[in-house]
Amino acid sequence: MSALYPKINDVLYIQLDTGDEKEANIVYKSRISDMDDESMYMEVPLQEGTGRLKKLYIGDELSAYFLTEGGVKNFFNSHVLSHHEDVIRLVRIKKPEPDQITKVQRRSFLRVQAELEVAVMAKDGTQLLTKTDDVGGGGVSFYLEPGKTFAEGSLVSCWILIPFKNGSVEHVPFEGEVVRVKQLPGNRSIVMLKFNQIVDMERQKLIRYCFERQFDFRNR
């Protein structure tokens, strides 16, 4: 099965999910420096074309591919586990299971439309209770009422209420960074957040909810 995995020094082509569609289409390049049973260690990615380094945060979700014989693209999804200081700075990402490496790109951190209750608290003490527009494993977006706004790049503490199919309801806490504020007709706006700090177990709950929702949409 190991033939499926990329080898040390192979190039990885990466796209990120931060909730910003423009960002999601940018391709970054990295190189695999090391691997163990759980993880792959890659160099800090560079943006293709500009050569700019891309700072990654723990929990960032990515869709990656590497090339094998004959230029075949092998895709997998992963997320950032930690940073690792070696001779150079490395980023440790989760190693996919062999059967999760496919010839087809599956951006399975797909966001799903969902109106979930979310409580938001900004550093300046501003608090609000609102509804999400969509949620995903890499971030969420929520509605803002007229007259309220958040600065891009500002950090907010949130918790989100997630109802599962089996009837259970979970509170998922996280810290988010405002990626973008999109104006809507009628003076309302949508704030797009990417996760800045979220416990892996809590992120898994969100991903599970997304899969349940996608399953619902498919079966309609």
Fold that domain 111-219 belongs to in CATH: Thrombin, subunit H (2.40.10)
What pLDDT, on a 0 to 100 scale, did the predictor assign at position 216? 66
DSSP code, position 95: P
What's the token pair of residue 39? Answer: 């993880």
Is the pLDDT at 108 greater than 60, yes or no?
Answer: no
What pLDDT, on a 0 to 100 scale, did the predictor assign at position 206? 86
Is the pLDDT at 122 greater than 80, yes or no?
Answer: yes
What distance in Å separates the CA atoms of residue 198 and residue 172, rounded to the nearest whole number? 9
Contact 90, 84 (CB under 8 A): yes
Phi then psi for 13, rounded to 5 degrees?
A: -105, 130
Who contacts 49 (Cβ-Cβ below 8 Å, separation ≥6)? Answer: none
- The proportion of the chain whose per-residue pLDDT surpasses 70, expressed as a percent, equals 90
The residue ranges of every structural domain in the chain are 10-104, 111-219
Selected residue with higher pLDDT from 8 and 24: 8
Q: What is the pLDDT of residues 166-198, one digit of tens each?
A: 999 999 999 999 988 888 888 889 998 988 888
DSSP code, position 185: G
> 10-104 falls under which CATH superfamily?
Electron Transport, Fmn-binding Protein; Chain A (2.30.110.10)
Q: What is the pLDDT of residues 134-157, one digit of tens each?
A: 998 788 999 998 878 888 889 999
Contact 53, 44 (CB under 8 A): yes
Instruction: Report the predicted TM-score, pTM, of the whole model to 2 decimal places.
Output: 0.57
What pLDDT, on a 0 to 100 scale, did the predictor assign at position 1? 38
Q: Which helix (H) or strand (E) holds 190?
A: strand 189-197
Mean pLDDT of 117-130: 92
